[in-house]
Structure 1
Amino acid sequence: MLAVHARYRGREIRRSALVKRSAEALSTLNGVGEFHVLGVEDICAAVESPRAVCDTVMALLSDGNWVIGIGVAPGGNADIARKTATASLSKGGRAGIVKAKLSTRGGADRAADIAAVFALLGQVLAKRTLEGREATSLVRSGLNQNEAAEELGISKQAMSQRLQAAGWQAETAGWQLAVNLIARAETSE
C-alpha cells in the first residue's frame, strides 16, 4: 500500500484554509483516498497505485509550497503506509523536497531512488513558465497537441515549442521512471 503525506511550507496567511482546500482538491484525483488534515499544515492520504502517487506528488511539486513524504508498505496495509509517509518527514524539510520511506528493512536505497527522481522532476517543474504550465496541463489532461493548440489559440508548431521548452519529454520520462520505482518498491518484501 502507498500513502502521501504533505506539509505546507508556503507563506499563505490563512494557511489552514488553504491546506483544507488543497486536501479536498487532491482527494478528487483518480486512485487517491481522502486526504485527512492533520493540524494546520499537514495532510495525508492512502493512495491506490504508483500512478496515483506520482500524479499527487506532481500536483504538489507544481505548487512549490509543500514538502512531500511518500510511504511504501509492501503487503497492502494503509495504516502502515500512512505512518511510513509521516515518518519520512520526521526530519523536516523545505518546500519542493520529496522524501520516501519503505516500511520494510533494506528499503533505503529504493526510497533514495524514488526521492532522487522527484528531485529531478521538481527541477523541470520549477523552471516552467506560465505558458509551459498551460501547455503541459492540457496535454496531461488527455488532449493531443493539435487539440491543445486549438484550445490555446496557437499553432501546432507553437504548441510543440512550448512543450519542448517546458521539458515535457523529460517530465514524461521521469514520471514513468517514478511509477516504475514505486511499483517495484511496493512489491518487494
Structure 2
Amino acid sequence: MSVLVLTVDQRDSRRGRDQVPTALELLGGVAALRSFERTAGDELQGVLDDPAALPAAVEPLLRAGTWSIGIGVGPVDLPLPPHARAGAGPAYLHARAGVTAAKTSPWHLRVVGERPGARQLESALWLWAAVLARRTPRGWEVADLADTGLSYDEAARRLGISQSAVSQRAQAAGIVEGRRARELVTHLATTALEEARG
C-alpha cells in the first residue's frame, strides 16, 4: 500500500508560541487515511491516500508560512496502525528525510520518493507556493470567498467594493493560477502514488 506521509515541523518554535493546535484545527477537515496529530514537540504528522487531499493539506501550511513540510511517497508497513505517528515503512522514512531537507529548501517544502514522480510533484508544489506567497491579506480575502463558490459579483457585495476591484484583487492574487496549481498537484500526486504502487 503506497501513501503520502506528511511530516510537518514548526519553524523557529523556540522563539514563538506553539502553533501545532492551530495547524491541527486547520487540517481537521482534510480527508486523511490517518488524521494529522502531534508526534512530538512542535511536529505533526498525517497519512493521505487520496491525491486530492494533498493540496487541501498543504495550502493552509504554506499560507501560514511557519512550517517545514516533508512529504514522503511510497509504501507503508501493514497493518497500518490507527494513529499516524505509530506507522512505519519507506513513506515514513521519506517524509522524515523530506522535513529535514525542507528546512533549507525553497518554500520549506520537499517531496521524497524513489520514483521520478516525487520530483515532479515537488516542482509543482514549489511553483504553487510562489503564487500563494504573493497574496496579500486582501487577496486572500477574495480567494477565500471564491473558494466558497461565490462569484466575483457576490464577493464584491459581501466586501462592499466594486466588482472591478474584486477582479483586480483576484488577478493580483493569482486565483486562477492557484486553482490550476491545485489541479496539477492533484494530478501529479496521483501519478506519484501510481508509480510507487507499480
- For the criterion TM > 0.5, the same-fold answer is yes
Q: TM-score range by the shorter chain?
A: 0.7 to 0.9
**Residue among 111, 118, 142 paired with 1:111:** 118
Range that drifts further, 90-99 or 70-79: 70-79
Structure 2: how far apart are the matches of 1:116 and 1:180?
Answer: 13
Name stretches of at least 5 consecutive residues in structure 1 with no aligned partner.
none
TM-score (norm: length of structure 2): 0.81
1:39 deviates by 1.9
Sequence identity, in percent? 29
Partner of 2:162: 155
TM-score (norm: length of structure 1): 0.84
User: Which residue identity is paired with 2:95?
Assistant: A
Partner of 2:84: none
How big is the alpha-carbon RMSD for the aligned residues of Structure 1 and Structure 2? Answer: 2.4
Structure 2: how far apart are the matches of 1:163 and 1:143?
Answer: 13
1:25 deviates by 2.7
Deviation string, structure 1 residues 36-80 (Cα, Å, up to 9, x no partner): 212222110012411211111111011111111112225896634
1:183 deviates by 0.4
Alignment of 1:85-164 (within 5 A): 85-91=95-101, 93-94=103-104, 96-102=107-113, 105=114, 107=115, 109-164=116-171
**Residue among 3, 6, 10 paired with 1:4:** 6
- The answer to whether 1:175 aligns with 2:182 is yes
Name stretches of at least 5 consecutive residues in structure 2 with no aligned partner.
81-86
- Contact 2:70–2:96 (Cα < 8 Å) also in 1: yes
- Contact 1:10–1:66 (Cα < 8 Å) also in 2: no
- Contact 2:6–2:47 (Cα < 8 Å) also in 1: yes
Structure 2: how far apart are the matches of 1:12 and 1:151?
Answer: 40
- Contact 1:124–1:171 (Cα < 8 Å) also in 2: yes
Q: What secondary structure sits across from 2:41 in the alignment?
A: coil
- Contact 2:13–2:42 (Cα < 8 Å) also in 1: no
Structure 1: how far apart are the matches of 2:157 and 2:92?
Answer: 42
Q: Given the superposition, is the C-alpha separation of residues 76 and 59 from structure 1 closer, same or farther in structure 2, using an over 3 Å criterion?
A: farther
Partner of 1:30: 30
1:143 deviates by 2.2
Deviation string, structure 1 residues 110-151 (Cα, Å, up to 9, x no partner): 211111111111111111111101111111233222222222
Structure 2: how far apart are the matches of 1:76 and 1:146?
Answer: 50
Count the aligned residue pairs.
183
Structure 1: how far apart are the matches of 2:146 and 2:99?
Answer: 32
